[in-house]
Amino acid sequence: MCKTEQNGSNLLKNRAFFICWIISTFPIMQEQINLLLSFAKEHKLELPEKFLDKIIKFCKFLIEANKNTNLISKNDEKKLLTRHVADSLVFAIHKFPHSHWADIGSGAGFPAIPLCLYFPQTKFFAIECRKKRCEFLNAVQQELNLQNLEIIQGNVRTLKVPLPPMDIVSCRAVGDLQEDFECAKRLLKKSGYFLTLKSKRIIDELKAKKDNSLKQAKIWNYRLPEESMEYVLACIVG
């Protein structure tokens, strides 16, 4: 066997071993993978070639780090793909044009890390105020070799780091819709998109109050695999 063929064979063996190890270590992982793939197919999301391998590696890394740092609920460890990764990919369902994207309150890396993997040509800025979470995100960046990600420690309300105008600013259920939008406007370019995920219950409550923040928002409803709760993706043009 020539050297190239041997290297290719070794890569295939290593990849197969890695996937088998993940499945044997986390028995529920294969079911989670299948549910995530079904979710992607349902929403016409074409996952990049190495997306699944890298997202599983990220989940393994996150679970290991979660032993020492409170990054996510322990109850969520067995449903990272369907609760957190699928939720992150909701931002990719609707095709908003972008080359620069800031994520506010990136925390344990959702949605920033899955989106970095899904949109490798987009420059992402993960903004997080907590030092330990920034340290974790920096470790993930090195582990996955994410060249399109920059981690910024700070509060978006008082951020003084010079950044390019953003095509998209996202946040995942950080706070009040109008307050989140006001924070995002500091980073958005003119006619840029503010995208946020909320529970449908919160949006229904705002509708009942005839909240002004909804007048300029476009809303899409969605559900995550094996969850009864309904969520919304809200978009406001800056």
pTM (predicted TM-score): 0.86
CA distance 91 to 93: 6
Mean pLDDT of the chain: 89
Note the pLDDT of residue 189. 96
Tell me the CA distances in angstroms from 33 to 5, 6, 79, one per residue in order: 29, 29, 10
Note the pLDDT of residue 8. 40
Say what percent of the chain tops pLDDT 90: 76
User: Where do the domains of the chain lie?
Assistant: 3-237
CA-nearest of 25, 95, 90 to 60 is: 25
In the CATH hierarchy, which top-level class contains the domain 3-237?
A: alpha beta
In tens, the pLDDT along 151-194 reads 999 999 999 899 999 999 999 866 788 889 999 999 999 999 99
Note the pLDDT of residue 20. 54
pLDDT at 28 over 70: no
